[in-house]
Chain A
């Protein structure tokens, strides 16, 4: 069974060849290239990975991601980003995905009515056309929506049951103003002590096309590795989604310094110690291979 890191980021310094937006988390001079990733993957026996776009939503901002996918077609699959307000999302998604190894798109917003009790016509949700395109082209949707959009997810998932949906980072939906960077430059998400996801994203387990990342623990936990305060959340996700619909990921490079890539390769065993070997293998890569359709590696 391959071991697959199902969500991480690589990027170079801002260059004419690989333009991207400079942000506090990705300043212009910082680089975390694919070669560095391959080194740590090799060291820790990780076979393949999902590279997720960072550094902008424009076609040109995806240059480095596409370069990596082209150079290592049997090691990586890619997730691009499509802006919610794009005038022609179908064209954007097609241009990025045609013969590139890019299999889907990440969304941070869904764009529906703020009033949760408002009767909804799913076609009026801004992200509707992106979901429709994903359904028609068999793209994966990679979701990390805002809290205020969480209630829209089941409408879209019901409308498009054929779309493979991957909820990022424990299915969390960050609140407005709750994102900061810690002293190591890692994302930190302030979450309520009461697990609100129990009411919002866990219910999505009833939809068979929904999968959840077991990742991003460092950003939500109030404890050091192995983030035991999140063990209950992991157990609930396992109970609701089952071991066939969970995917392990590291969120490289934010975890390189603390706790370290190697530590994260055993975080699932520490948080879910009662998993059988088969279940662990599924979460550590088998599910990503099956659901995301990873190619076999060239030997």
Chain B
């Protein structure tokens, strides 16, 4: 397990994010990309049916139950590139809440407003966003307001235009880049002015609190969780 450096720890505390370039690379990245594309294509019609009936948003879609579809989606949950940092920041008591294997349409179809996911008094809530394909500037890249996770920061207001958010930073990146952020900080997916949908995976974690995830939540992948560490991460009985 690779623990974060003192500099990374300082940045996490002060700014609320870390970037891991080439977190996933080589053959592993190729397999992630091809698996993502295969299942995204397989699941698209089902999503459009749900859009038609008003049961799904018309701006993005997630591959349902990805952990059950391919083990690559399990292996990125505790990937060594960032797992050590996750463990460090949660005092070695990390749980997975879930993955979002997400395809987001270009602008003007897709639009996300600046938001935090949780309040500042919530248990530490961390997301890791992995770019599956290259995400250029103005290509739906992640945006974050450094420091907005701190208790004394803000108050913040949602601006009408994303680029108007004071003090924000955007994170274009190559495929395989992973961005870890404290999700009580204000963040967004910037508008995607390209013709290509943004493909990314968002992994959602939290510092363990009692009963947050039940033992059946990830029971369907139990056979792939053979180490005590992984079983704890997925809240499975040890």
Contacts and interface: CB of A to CB of B under 8 A. Distances in A.
Interface of A: 114-117, 119, 146-148, 150-151, 154-155, 158, 173-178, 190-192, 196, 198-200, 202-203, 205-206, 239-240
By DSSP majority rule, is chain B's interface helix, strand, loop, or mixed? Answer: loop
B83 interface: no
Contact of A151 (B54, B58, B103): B58
Query: Which 9 A-B residue pairs are closest in the complex by CB-CB distance?
Result: A175-B54, A203-B111, A154-B108, A199-B57, A175-B53, A147-B54, A148-B52, A199-B59, A151-B58
A191 B54 contact: yes
Nearest to A150: B58
Given A116-B48, A200-B59, 20 more contacts: A114-B48, A116-B51, A116-B58, A116-B105, A116-B109, A119-B195, A147-B51, A148-B48, A154-B111, A158-B108, A175-B53, A176-B53, A178-B53, A196-B54, A199-B57, A199-B58, A206-B160, A206-B161, A239-B158, A240-B160
B152 interface: no
B53 A177 contact: yes
A144 to B, nearest CB: 13
Interface residues of B, number: 25
A147 B195 contact: no
Contacts of B54: 147, 173-176, 178, 190-192, 196
B101 to A, nearest CB: 16
Interface of B: 44, 48, 51-60, 103, 105, 108-113, 158, 160-161, 195, 197
Contacts of B44: 115, 117
Nearest to B106: A117
A196 B48 CA distance: 14
A194 to B, nearest CB: 8
A191 B57 CA distance: 12
A154 B161 contact: no
